[in-house]
Amino acid sequence: MDQINTNEPNIFVIFGATGDLTYRKLIPAIYNLYIQNLLPEKFNFICVGRREFSQNDYRNNAKKALKEFSKSTFKEEEFEKFSEIFKYLRLDFVKDEKYQSLKDLIKSMCEKYSHDENILYYMAVSPEYFSVIVDKLKSNNLADNTKGIKRVIIEKPFGENLESARELNKKMTETFTENEIYRIDHYLGKEMSQNIMAIRFANPILEHVWNNRYIDNIQITSNESLGVLTRGKYYEKSGALKDMFQNHMLQLLTLIAMEPPVSLSTEDVRDEKVKVLKAMPIVDEKFVRENIVRGQYIEDKKGTLKAYRSEEDVSCDSMVETFVAIKCFINNYRWTGVPFYVRTGKRLNKKITEVVIEFKNAPFVLYNEDNKLQPNLLVIRIHPDERIFLNLSVKKPGNENEIIPIQMDFCQNCHSLVSTEAYEKLMYDAIRGESTLFTRWDETEFSWKYVEKIFEIWDNNKDIPLYNYHSLSEGPYEMNKLLHKENMKWWDI
């Protein structure tokens, strides 16, 4: 029997296979890779969950999920073949003796296809189970890389604070090497997030002006229209700062601000991202008071949507922020003097993730007698539509010298171009051992240091306000005070 590629895992084990993440994202991602023939030869995956399901019941659950969430048109004949490569296994994560059934199933798959134990584990479980499962894998010799490739993908949050993140990392590295650990941030799997480096480094016209000489400010926005819904218990321990800024927003910032890497190799790219985090000034009380605005949503003006404090599992006097806006700085040769405005929140008037680069005006600009010209803007929109557009000024057709703004617009997913789903791209990379789009430990550690200092100052200074904002508004009005320069504003393109 032919040997398969020994550089790729051929068994994919999902812990948490009955959860929302698996049904909505992971199974559709694997299915799409399967129908595109992008999985390794003789690939199998094991869906591990704590619920009692027969193989047929779980198969029907997977079918339902694919019909609802897969980007590909569902075809019964394709699913029949796909359903042959996965098995459901009921397993209590905390009981050591139960892992024997997983060992037996892996062994039978390896014997059937004559390959080593090349395994990719995915932790699609609550964070409290991360260390437990890793311990069980080690004690049951299921993470032994002398018997084949072993890799583990771990979902966010990676710890609840700096201390717990360090403890979790210590636990992980006692079982897996750093190169075997894939800390996932699905924002980095989005097509336009990946395009940020290409836009910069493949276009000399942009890279030459990507600095403080030509850029006035950069705005990074990730707003959600939904509230916390049923996630109140989690959100009370998290808030917008931990839930979004500590990972997604800082990752986008590093991609925008990083220096050109020596190469596109994983470690060269990661090294430059870490340098950005190191160049961010130390957070102190003065910085927090002057450069951070936090808010919490209340009812909408019609009174039809709940306030955050009325949500399920949320304290009636909660001081958890559902919105945060931060004016960041990067103290290096390229960016000194350029503010990075980062905002994210829930229950806002639109769901959108984008980066806006505002270029400086020349000292003297013709056609600008009344100071009405819009600045040139480069917008990289990541969600919901994936597009890049450049705001320019042109003469309006006619006899008058009236100047109007136009947009040179490229939309990646508006027409016939196919966009890869974030999890599909990340699964594909993890299978191939490509970890560029995953977070290295020192990136995680530096981001936690930055965020934890903010929390410490909030906790020690109860007079720092938590502003209210109406649901489905733009956010707290006070966020505008961060853009203190004359005529500066948050851009709503």
Which residues are the active-site residues?
A: 248
**How far is it, in rounded angstroms, from Cα 466 to Cα 296?**
7
Reported as type and span, the H/E element at residue 60 is: helix 55-69
Asked if 162 and 452 count as a contact pair (C-beta separation under 8 A), the reply is: yes
Alpha carbon 2 to its chain centroid, in Å, reads 38
3-class DSSP state of 354: strand
Dihedral-angle region of residue 454 (phi above 0 means left; psi in -120 to 50 means alpha; beta otherwise): alpha
3-class DSSP state of 310: helix
Neighbouring C-beta atoms of residue 487, cutoff 10 Å: 7
Measured between alpha carbons, how far is residue 6 from residues 1, 177, 214, 433, 460 in Å? 14, 18, 49, 12, 54
Do β-strands 403-411 and 387-395 pair in parallel, antiparallel, or remain unpaired? antiparallel
Burial letters 356-386, b for 16+ CB under 10 A, else e: bbbbeeeeeeeeeeeeebebbbbbbbbbeeb
Q: Is 116 exposed, middle or buried (0-12, 13-18, 19+ CB in 10 A)?
A: middle
Q: Which residue has the tokens 């985090």?
A: 277
Q: Is 317 exposed, middle or buried (0-12, 13-18, 19+ CB in 10 A)?
A: exposed
The contacts of residue 144 (CB under 8 Å, 6+ apart) are: 117, 150
End-to-end CA distance of the chain: 58
**How far is it, in rounded angstroms, from Cα 146 to Cα 116?**
10
Alpha helices in 230-373 (DSSP H): 232-240, 250-257, 266-278, 285-291
Task: Provide the token pair at 323.
Answer: 């919105």
Q: If you ran DSSP here, which 8-state letter would residue 125 be given?
A: S
DSSP codes of every residue in 404-459? EEEEEEEESSSSS-----HHHHHHHHHHHT--TTSB-HHHHHHHHHHHHHHHHHHH
Asked if 190 and 386 count as a contact pair (C-beta separation under 8 A), the reply is: yes
Do β-strands 377-383 and 387-395 pair in parallel, antiparallel, or remain unpaired? antiparallel
